[in-house]
Amino acid sequence: MSREADAPHPHRGQVVVVTGGSAGIGRASAVAFSEAGMRVVIAARNEERGTEVVQEIRAQGGEALFAQCDVTSPHQVRELFTRSVDVFGRVDCAFNNAGIPGDGRLAELEPEDFDHTFAVNTRGLWLCLREELRLMSAQGSGSVVNNTSVHGLRTVFPGIGAYVASKHAAVALTRMAALEHAQEGIRVNAVAPGPIESDMLAASEAAVGGATTWRRLIPSGAIGTPRQVADVALWLFSPSSSYVNGQVIGVDGGFLAT
């Protein structure tokens, strides 16, 4: 029996694009979406790691495609969605997951470092949203989930000002896109992860104390997993969340409730 035949009905055959899909939350999400029966386009800069994810999905009986893409490039973003439609015929869902850290105190940042953080986390998100919303508007349906951060809702640590600002902007883009396209059958929501097992969390050890600091802030003391974020994104794509729009869902072990 085929993978699609085994898949739960709500997602069977849907096409989803995952940016930053070669590692961490993006990789876990691409696999989770495929397990639910979705056809997955994995977009990332790293071709070797992206291709590995495609091979993993295909080995499990799923359908996947790798598209090399730097989200800061309007041309590459446009080509990503053109290729997705050429291969799979449509784009039903999108998980805008690509993002980078932005360490450094505001008074000490160089303009180019600040600009680069915004180029990926904010402008790159907008470039993807622009193509997704155009496609989904023409289709009359679609669901988008943006990967923001608890830092987009609450200033947690000093020393990462560019990152915090870029994620606040990502939250604003989520809400504006939801408002502008609600009458076109399109929903736009976001996940706001807290500390998640990832290279980014490990890299934050020097700047903000990484997992050590976070464990003191999370009510349960636990660090989350990429799959836990993926499962929330999958729910936001599903009919079960059909009346959820313009929302930012914390996936943070209760941190935002403290």
Residue 196 half-sphere exposure toward CB, CA atoms < 13 A:
24
Q: How many CB atoms lie within 10 A of CB 183?
A: 7
Task: Give the pairing of strands 142-147 and 248-251.
Answer: unpaired
H helix or E strand, kind and range, residue 42: strand 39-44
Is 163 designated active site?
Answer: yes
Q: How far is the C-alpha of 22 from the C-alpha of 54, rounded, in Å?
A: 9
| Helix residue ranges per DSSP H, the chain | 3-6, 24-35, 47-59, 74-88, 111-118, 124-139, 161-181, 199-203, 205-208, 210-217, 226-237
Q: How far is the C-alpha of 32 from the C-alpha of 57, rounded, in Å?
A: 9
Which residue of the set 33, 88, 95, 163 is catalytic? 163
Exposure string of 229-241, with b = 16+ CB inside 10 Å and e = fewer, is: bbbbbbbbbbeeb
Geometric angle at alpha carbon 149, from 189 and 117, rounded to 5°: 110
Geometric angle at alpha carbon 4, from 94 and 224, rounded to 5°: 50
248-251 sheet: strands from edge to edge: 64-68, 39-44, 15-19, 93-96, 142-147, 186-193, 248-251
Q: Residue holding tokens 């160089």?
A: 110
Catalogue the active-site residues.
Answer: 163
